[in-house]
Amino acid sequence: MPDELRRDHEHVPVLLDRVLALLAPALARPGAVLVDATVGLGGHSDALLAAHPELRLIAFDRDPAALERSGARLARHGERVQFVHAVYDRIPEELARLGLSTVDGLLFDLGVSSMQLDQEGRGFAYSRDAPLDMRMDPTTGVTAADVLNTYEIGELSRVLREYGEERFAHRIAKAVVAERSKAPFEHSARLVELLYQAVPAASRRTGGHPAKRTFQALRIEVNGELETLRAALPSAFGVLATGGRIAVESYHSLEDRMVKREFAGRAKSRTPEGLPVELPGHGPELRLLTRGAEVAGEDETARNPRAGSVRLRAAERIGWAA
């Protein structure tokens, strides 16, 4: 087995056992179909296919490298797996192209993948110098360098404040614009050095690495992550069959709040208060399967630091909106 494939097999996805348990009732149905909206290295999908020998998987990812590596990992499952190079807000259209209108399971493992963080040339990690790219699909779209070199102070400040929840957004934006007047930003080390200078020392001592929030904000902006998720959740519910289940793993509060609102809104009745009976088509669409957001335990977080920020929510389709 090649070294890269061996490492992929050794990689254990976040909250794997819990995801397996939450999705199991829906995926055990005859002819069940699962959409993995962000297949990544294929860890969750590999385990789900092994647990359900009749399961069919539709594996989405915008990153061609992820599709290549998960393809190698999932090859043992043969024709039960179909790969789709697309962003997950296109799930309904891509399923229709494959002749499917509904599925039994949906899995979203959001954010940047371990593979993307580990690939030195992608620019996702602030711990190593690399070109400021940060595109999940490196074949299209603007790069992080484009954002740093072209956005005005106000727009750059907004991105850092809204997507990175960065207290010093305006201060950093001013420093970036001043620095790029000398030479455009191209590599991450120069940006990290600027952030060390722009973020006050007291905040650096208590707020973690000074580049963490800025790199998160740039990645979200480059990939349109929140806009994509906002569009994808309603369309995903539109293809989830009655009795089907959805599980979403988020890694920062902006994603989790969006998922929470969408789940909560669909788990409530829309029948006006005071009516003695539920109006047809106005009952809850979902039954929540998790009490709030579930987190990883201390043992898993010790083995895999990425699990420390995960928030898992799951629900089951019980009805349809009018």
Give the residue ranges of the annotated binding site for S-adenosyl-L-methionine: 42-44, 61, 88, 109, 116
Give the Cα separation of 15 and 23 in Å (integer): 12
Q: Is 180 exposed, middle or buried (0-12, 13-18, 19+ CB in 10 A)?
A: middle
Give the Cα separation of 266 and 245 in Å (integer): 13
DSSP state of 200: -
Contacts of 302 (CB under 8 A, 6+ apart): none
Contacts of 276 (CB under 8 A, 6+ apart): none
End-to-end CA distance of the chain: 52
Query: For the CA atoms of the chain, what is the radius of gyration?
Result: 21
Q: Which of 281, 290, 230, 218 is nearest to 254 (CA)?
A: 230
Q: Is 113 exposed, middle or buried (0-12, 13-18, 19+ CB in 10 A)?
A: buried
**Which amino acid type is present at position 297?**
G
Q: Could you count the other beta carbons within 10 Å of the beta carbon of residue 249?
A: 28
**Which amino acid type is present at position 317?**
R
Annotated binding-site residue numbers: 42-44, 61, 88, 109, 116
Q: Which two tokens stand for residue 179?
A: 């620095």
DSSP state of 313: E
